[in-house]
Chains A and B, each alone.
Chain A
Amino acid sequence: MNEYIRRIQEVMEREAYITDRQIATSVFLASALGKPLLVEGHPGVGKTEIAKVLAQTLGADLIRLQCYEGLDANTALYEWNYPRQLLHIKLGEHAPGTIAEKEATLFSVEYLLKRPLLAAITHHGTPPVLLIDEVDRSDEEFEAFLLEILSDFQVTIPELGTIRAESRPVVVLTSNRTRELSEALRRRCLYLWIDYPSFEKELRIVRTKVPGLGEQLAREITGVLQSLRKMRLAKHPGVAESLDWAAALVALHADHLDEAVVRDTMGCFLKDDADFQVLERELEAGRLQALASFAG
């Protein structure tokens, strides 16, 4: 195994991110080849976490751009600080100097509000980690714009000229696949698919992340969650949900699962009324033990 990949895996584990070779290899290649990493997977499997842990691992700053429908280039890149500009005009009303000179100061870096993409491009020192979160939620137009930024990491601001990145940020994009991303964007990126973790991996995650969790309870929680993912549900619980549930059970001082405690806490991992009914039927049929003893 490559020395660096092993090291990445070690450091990520130290940051309490339970990883595997696939993740470590992709993360390594993204920084070694200088390509953006596109991370896809079900909600709650730790896609966003990768960027956070990567930033910690590299000792770099994390710059995050959360995508949403209607996100446009302005919001993501830069804006002029109008109030400050107006104030400047007002204060300089009687100052000497030509209009051209005044205008030049007005449209200088000082009056520029950097939004995440420009912040990443103009960042000094260690290249930052740029997280473009839930890119599938942005519009297609924005995706095209993003593609342009990601290919040359330079931006042209009409009043200022072209700004080029000193060093390329490490870019991580995440997608929940609510819509298909363009082929062009996919080609530009390395690809990583994170599946739901195996029983063993999830058990390790739960144990690591939730202190004070008893061994039996940890196994039962993981078992139930793994079983649920095999069932027909409207919304399958992710790892984030197992952690929420485990934390809730610890807070309730539970040391094992029974029907009553599951009923009281199932809102931690099921988020759909229809799914409540599914689990309720399982409980009524006395199948809790069967669910909890699932082991891969």
Chain B
Amino acid sequence: MTHPSAPAADAPPPADLLATVVSLCRALRERGVAATPAESIDAARALGRVDLGDQEEVRLALRAVLVNRREDFDAFDEAFRETWRASGGLPSPIPLPGRRRDLMPNATPGGRKPPPVSLQNWMKPSDADGGEPLNVRAASDRESLGFRDFAQFGADDDEAVRALARRIARRLALRRSRRWKASRRGERIDLRRTVRASLRTGGEAVRLEQKTRARRRTSLVALCDVSGSMELYSRVLLQFLHALQNTFARVESFAFATRLSRLTPLLRGVRYRESLRDVGREVQDFAGGTRIGASLQAFLDRHAGLVDRRTIVLIMSDGWDVGDPEVLAEAMRVLHQRAGRVIWLNPLMGASDYTPGTRGMQAALPYIDILAPGHNLNALERLVRHLTL
């Protein structure tokens, strides 16, 4: 069953080329790109179909087969260059797009400023999220920067944060109402409507009316405080947002300290550590002071369209605000009016003697539907039951 536009048969690639494919796969695995035996076989088949004298074509073909997400393109190009040179599989490697060194946190000579210290801490190799292997090659470079120890959260907790975010996202996505609604292709036959419709056809049920459980289209807007006072928490909260963003389509994420940044495009589809890098570059006021009121106002000015009665607004902040409490109160009032629910997660509430005493908290309090602690996984877990409208 050959395709009309395809050559008649697979010409088996030379044996040394197969060996090269095998070592390429090994080089990929070393870089954390899992290339399975099945993919090696496909790679060999692909080589049987392309012009082996054309290195660019070989590279594109192997990449299409062996890599399955854009984030791994750089790693592939590097592995490809190395393997082909070592094996001499093909003469004179053509210049490939170089590794984008400027994206690495320690590439200061290039001119780009390194991410803020708190971000650098997060990018420590121990942060590798489950999907990424630990022997990522840049690890030693990063360690040499002399990172601070981040004792409270080890790699184990990272996995737990992601698992929790996925659970929450699934609840949001799959949430069904108890009510039935009419539907063209339903789950059950709607006897009542069928009988009613059959009256029109002389009591004969020509058309079966159906019904299905209504879906609740809840969306989530998360605003995360990344100012200095939140530093210990915003790392985990951002990771939580990242996982949420990638399992549930209707999430919009923002970060703020003195000004507002939209994180949605940065967190989407990219691995956690890479998105942290992007976030560090985009969010210039990372770990600075806080102006919650002005940031929320900026959110309302620019993105009010994201919030309606089916939206849950999740604010994650300790409420330490250096701005005008009036501005905060006004922004909260409008937000509360527009949104289906306003939830404020305050990590400080983890302390048993906490009272929402800061001026900012006081100003915001009347417009908060649910004030909850967000200092540990249990607190986030308990959040789940509030996430339905």
Q: Using a CB–CB distance below 8 Å, which chain A residues touch chain B?
A: 1-2, 4-5, 7-8, 21-22, 25-26, 28-29, 31-35, 38, 40, 57-58, 69-70, 72, 74-75, 79, 82-83, 86-87, 90, 126-127, 136-137, 139-140, 167-168, 170, 177-180, 186-187, 189-193, 232, 234, 273-274, 277
Contacts and interface: CB of A to CB of B under 8 A. Distances in A.
Contact of B5 (A8, A35, A273): A8
A86 B206 CA distance: 6
Contact of B208 (A25, A75, A82, A137): A82
Given A4-B6, A136-B249, A179-B247, A33 B1 contact: no
B60 A21 contact: yes
20 contacts: A5-B57, A22-B60, A28-B5, A34-B1, A70-B215, A74-B185, A83-B208, A126-B4, A139-B173, A179-B246, A179-B247, A180-B269, A187-B39, A187-B68, A190-B64, A191-B64, A191-B67, A234-B262, A273-B302, A274-B302
A38 B69 CA distance: 10
Q: Count chain B CB atoms within 10 A of each CB in A22, A32, A57 and give the residue with the most.
A: A32
B303 A69 contact: no
B204 A86 contact: yes
Given A29-B46, A29-B64, A193 B70 contact: yes
A139 B5 contact: no
Given A32-B49, A190-B64, A21 B3 contact: no
B134 interface: no
Given A83-B208, A178-B249, 10 more contacts: A5-B51, A29-B61, A29-B64, A33-B42, A33-B49, A40-B69, A87-B206, A177-B268, A179-B247, A179-B248
Interface in B186-221: 204-208, 215
Contacts of B51: 1-2, 5
Contacts of B205: 86
B199 to A, nearest CB: 15
Nearest to A175: B269
B221 to A, nearest CB: 13
Contacts of A57: 5
Contacts of B56: 21
B3 A177 contact: no
Nearest 4 CB-CB pairs, A to B? A177-B269, A186-B68, A274-B302, A178-B249
B5 A4 contact: yes
Given A69-B173, A177-B268, A38 B49 contact: no
B149 interface: no
Contacts of B208: 82-83, 86
Given A179-B247, A190-B65, A34 B3 contact: yes
Contacts of A136: 249
A75 to B, nearest CB: 5
A25 B69 contact: no
B174 interface: yes
Contacts of B170: 140
A84 B269 CA distance: 46
Contact of A31 (B3, B38, B174, B303): B3
Given A33-B45, A82-B207, A179-B248, A191 B69 contact: yes
B282 A1 contact: no
Contact of B65 (A29, A72, A90, A232): A29
A133 B57 CA distance: 27
Given A79-B185, A83-B207, A187 B38 contact: yes
Interface string B242-255: 00001111000000
Contacts of B49: 2, 4, 28-29, 32-33
Interface in B156-199: 170, 173-174, 185
Contact of A32 (B6, B39, B207): B6
B305 interface: yes
Contacts of B358: none
A278 B3 CA distance: 50
B320 interface: no
B1 A168 contact: yes
A23 to B, nearest CB: 9
B353 interface: no
Nearest to B50: A2
Contacts of A90: 204
Q: Count chain B CB atoms within 10 A of each CB in A8, A22, A25, A273 and give the residue with the most.
A: A25
Interface in B263-319: 268-269, 282, 302-303, 305
B36 interface: yes
Given A29-B65, A69-B249, A83-B207, A58 B60 contact: no
A25 B5 CA distance: 13
A58 B4 contact: yes
A38 B64 CA distance: 10
A2 B55 CA distance: 11
A183 B108 CA distance: 35
Interface in B337-368: none
A195 to B, nearest CB: 8
B68 A31 contact: no
A31 B1 CA distance: 11
A22 B97 CA distance: 14
Contacts of A274: 302-303
B73 A193 contact: yes
Q: Count chain B CB atoms within 10 A of each CB in A5, A29, A86, A168 and give the residue with the most.
A: A29
Contacts of A34: 1, 3
B347 to A, nearest CB: 27
Nearest to A178: B249
Given A31-B6, A33-B49, A70-B215, A2 B1 contact: no
A280 to B, nearest CB: 13
A186 B36 CA distance: 12
Contacts of A191: 63-64, 67-69
